Structure 1
Amino acid sequence: MSRRDQIRTSEVDLDFPREWIEFLDPADEQHLIRADLTWLLSRWTCVFGSACHGIVAGRAREGCCTHGAFFTDADDENRVKAAAAKLSPETWQHYRRGFKNYTEMDTVDGSSPARRTAIRTEDGPCVFLNDAGFAGGGGCALHAQALRDGVHPLKYKPDVCWQLPVRREQDWIKRPDGTKVLQSTLTEFDRRGWGPGGHDLDWWCTSSPEAHVGSEPMYVSYGPELAALVGTAAYRKLAELCAARLKSGLLAIHPATVAAGQPKQRGGREPATPPQA
């Protein structure tokens, strides 16, 4: 069996039992949170630069940065523009001045134009990705700049980059009594999250035991990102419920966490200071 086949066959199937919880946002009675406990209590962690195999065969060092990141809205674009202005040729290997020089137009659905971060060549990677041997440091230049500035990387990176691999879906739903609530669903961004093309990725971390090696549950390690996605008050409640579920024993443990030989999902802790959004 080839190395690629070994990598793909080690990933767990996409369909398995999951535990969910629903609760109202303490700060907004019209905001309903629906959370995938199996995912948030897993031991997934980003293994970029270590165990990551990358989404394209033979390009492990690029991780999931092979393709440009599509912007979600003007706020997303402006945040990256402000962060990029802090970079220099010493900190950004492929330095480009001007928003339109480090972004380009493409399409997500095959027809509607959308702007994304540029790629260095026709097949990538993202222009913000520094090579591992770059004197200013390898990896995402925006991520590194955030760390130098003492802020969380989500403040500088495109939305899709800091949100992955959490999938948030938001829909206004009508209840039987006619009332409406905004339902925010938090779950795993698995291969299917990319659409049909997700199955063509050479490797994807959420299904791989090699990425389920975190020292703490994901709801803790990804606390700042979750707080940014649903709000600080909702995240505090989510963390409380996750900690309680761990203490009582999770029934549907993520199979990749099990395959990684992680400790039994009991005795989790709640973050001492829930992060600010």
Structure 2
Amino acid sequence: MSRTPPTREVPLDFPREWIEFLDPADEQHLVRADLTWLLSRWTCVFGSACRGILPGRAEDGCCSHGAFFTDADDENRVKAAAAKLTPQTWQHHRRGFKNYTEVDTVDGTKPARRTATRSADGPCVFLNEADFAGGGGCALHAQALRDGVHPLAYKPDVCWQLPVRREQDWITRPDGTKLLQSTLTEFDRRGWGPGGHDLAWWCTSSSEAHVGTEPMYLTYAPELTALIGTAAYEKLATICAARIKSGLIAVHPATAEAAAPQRRGGREPASPPFPGGSGGHSRTASR
């Protein structure tokens, strides 16, 4: 798959706008949200403008490695979804959980299970090739669409959460009050650890992926709801809408860069560039 050289990525550090609020359904749950990211125009461009994380393998997207499971619930969800797949819908069909997963390590010491790869240097076993008769892309994602459910119901946690990063910590305020703080932000290169800086390309920092038509908080509503709960998401959406109306936003530089060529050519973008975000991962493309 030949592509023109990718556009440069914006720096990892730039001004961001944050908001904090208590979950209306739980006074011990504090949500801290990165509005610059959630109001960006990022959208998944798998199968179109995606460069892939490894050189020369754009067709893999971000599926060039197996996905580590977060817990037993994550494993069981994928196990149930994989049981729905057939050789006609999964190019690299395998039966049995242990045959399509393997034990590896995230930190170099503690064993952890992840989805297997097709070979030592191959992509995730669930990734169908683009010309596969049953459809290219993630077999789990495609099965969810066929079943009329959101892909987050079938895919590993890390796959459906990307590129949103949620961190949760119990914090203690000066008066001794303890709260569970959920932080929502961009899963940038640093989210992968030291190796993230070695990726050939990463979409969140590239203007090529900031081409959506709706704010990301809208296109990622199901994922955000799953991460922080319904009441908290509704509060977040209200805040985001108010910030859009005010126009007072620390804009993501990749979103600004994506809009710049149209402005330089004397044309306004099809929809306002600030703030906004689109797409989330495609509801039709099987990333």
Alignment of 1:156-167 (within 5 A): 156-167=154-165
1:267–1:75 CA distance, 2 compared to 1 (3 A): closer
Q: Which has the higher contact order (CA 8 A, sep 6+)?
A: 2
Residue 253 of structure 2: which of 234, 252, 255 is its match?
255
Q: Which residue of structure 2 lines up, in the alignment, with residue 83 of structure 1?
A: 81
Q: Which residue of structure 1 lines up, in the alignment, with residue 105 of structure 2?
A: 107
Deviation at 1:265, TM superposition (A): 2.0
Distance across 1 between alignment mates of 2:194 and 2:248: 31
The one-letter code of the counterpart of 1:265 is F
1:147–1:26 CA distance, 2 compared to 1 (3 A): same
Structure 1: gaps spanning 5 or more residues: 269-277
Deviation at 1:94, TM superposition (A): 0.2
Q: Secondary structure at the match of 2:124?
A: coil
Q: TM-score, normalised by structure 1?
A: 0.93
Q: Does 1:21 pair with 2:19?
A: yes
Q: Secondary structure at the match of 1:105?
A: strand
Q: Which residue of structure 2 lines up, in the alignment, with residue 151 of structure 1?
A: 149
Q: 1:249-276 CA distances to partner (integer Å, 9 max, x unpaired)?
A: 13310000000005242699xxxxxxxx
Distance across 1 between alignment mates of 2:63 and 2:273: 33
**Percent of aligned pairs with the same amino acid:** 82
Contact 1:247–1:267 at 8 Å: present in 2 too? Answer: no
Distance across 2 between alignment mates of 1:59 and 1:267: 29
**Larger mean Cα displacement after TM superposition, 253-262 or 49-58:** 253-262
Q: Which residue of structure 2 lines up, in the alignment, with residue 40 of structure 1?
A: 38
Q: TM-score, normalised by structure 2?
A: 0.90
The one-letter code of the counterpart of 2:62 is C
Q: Secondary structure at the match of 2:204?
A: helix
Q: Does 1:225 pair with 2:219?
A: no
The one-letter code of the counterpart of 2:146 is R
Contact 2:162–2:187 at 8 Å: present in 1 too? Answer: yes
Q: 1:200-223 CA distances to partner (integer Å, 9 max, x unpaired)?
A: 000000000000011101000011
Q: Which residue of structure 1 lines up, in the alignment, with residue 59 of structure 2?
A: 61
Q: Does 1:191 pair with 2:189?
A: yes
Number of aligned residues:
264
Q: Secondary structure at the match of 1:10?
A: coil
Q: Which residue of structure 2 lines up, in the alignment, with residue 92 of structure 1?
A: 90
Distance across 1 between alignment mates of 2:120 and 2:196: 20
Distance across 1 between alignment mates of 2:192 and 2:109: 17
Q: 1:177-208 CA distances to partner (integer Å, 9 max, x unpaired)?
A: 00100000000000011111000000000000
Distance across 2 between alignment mates of 1:70 and 1:129: 15
The one-letter code of the counterpart of 1:23 is F
Deviation at 1:236, TM superposition (A): 0.4
Q: Does 1:73 pair with 2:82?
A: no
Distance across 1 between alignment mates of 2:205 and 2:248: 19
Q: Which residue of structure 1 lines up, in the alignment, with residue 121 of structure 2?
A: 123
Contact 2:216–2:276 at 8 Å: present in 1 too? Answer: no
Distance across 2 between alignment mates of 1:132 and 1:94: 13
1:42–1:143 CA distance, 2 compared to 1 (3 A): same
Contact 2:144–2:150 at 8 Å: present in 1 too? Answer: yes
Deviation at 1:244, TM superposition (A): 0.3
Contact 2:42–2:212 at 8 Å: present in 1 too? Answer: yes
C-alpha root-mean-square deviation of aligned residues, in Å? 1.4
